[in-house]
Every structure is written in structure tokens, then in C-alpha cells.
Structure 1
Amino acid sequence: MFEVAALTYGVLASFIMASAGRNRREKRRNPPLLTLLGLTLMALSATMAVLLLGYAAWNTFGPAALSI
């Protein structure tokens, strides 16, 4: 399951970055859908980074050290 998610994420990121780079090189505006997908991918990346950081902290320090 993880492999499918990682492959999908990689293909989407590659497509979005290639399309945005081509539009920038040709001095064209990005279509609204490409901008929306780029922002969604950025939000997904940031969310996963925070969740994985929390998971690493939870496993390192334990639940008692993280309780407020």
C-alpha cells in the first residue's frame, strides 16, 4: 500500500513540477487546475511532515513526555 502511495505522489509531483517549469520557460500562466494541484500537493507534503515528526517524537520520548 505504501509503495502505491509513494509512486502516485512521485508521479504527481513530477508532472506538476515539469508542467510548471515548462510554463515558466515559455512565459505562460499556469492553468488554475495546475495551481490547485500544486497547492494541494504542497499541503499534503507539509501535513505528512508534521505527522511523521510527531510520530517520531512519540516513539522517541513516549506519551508521558509529550503530555501537557
Structure 2
Amino acid sequence: MIEGAALLYSLTTAFVLTSAERNRKAARPHARRIVYAGWMLMGASFTGAGLLGITAIRHALV
């Protein structure tokens, strides 16, 4: 299950970053879906980092 989520996350990240770079080079605005996907990835990254940090603290205290 985690492998599937990691694969989906990595493929989405690669797609968003590639699209954003191509649009930047062509001096075109980003599509709204690309921007939303980028915000979703940022939120998922922050949430994952926070959960891992809390888990590390809990394991250190126990």
C-alpha cells in the first residue's frame, strides 16, 4: 500500500515539475490543474514531514 502511494506521489511530482518547467521556458502561464496539483503535493509533503517528526519524538520519549 505504501509503495503504491509513493509511486503515485513520485509520478505526480515529476509531472508537475516537468510541466511547470516547460511552461516557464515557453513563458506561458501554468494551467490551473497544475497549480492545484502543486499545492496538493506541498500539503502532502508538509503533512508527511509533520507526522514523521511527531512519530520520531514519540519513539524517542518512550
Per chain length, whose mean CA-contact separation is higher, i.e. which structure has more relative contact order (CA < 8 Å, sep 6+)? 2
Instruction: Specify every segment of 5 or more residues in structure 1 that has no aligned partner in the other structure, as ranges.
Output: 63-68
Kindly report which structure 2 residues correspond to 1:1-68, keeping only aligned pairs within 5 A, or say none.
1-62=1-62
CA-based RMSD: 0.6
Q: Could you give the per-residue CA deviations for residues 20-50 of structure 1, whole angstroms, max 9, x where no partner exists?
A: 0000011000011110110011011001100
Moved over 2 A (4+): none
Aligned identity (percent) is 35
The amino acid of 1:47's aligned partner reads: T
Q: Specify the SS of the correspondent of 2:30.
A: coil
1:58 offset after TM fit, Å?
Answer: 0.4
Q: What TM-score comes out, normalization by structure 2 length?
A: 0.95
Q: How many residues align?
A: 62
Rounded Cα–Cα distance in structure 2 between residues aligned with 1:17 and 1:39: 12
Q: Structure 2: where are the runs of 5+ without partners?
A: none
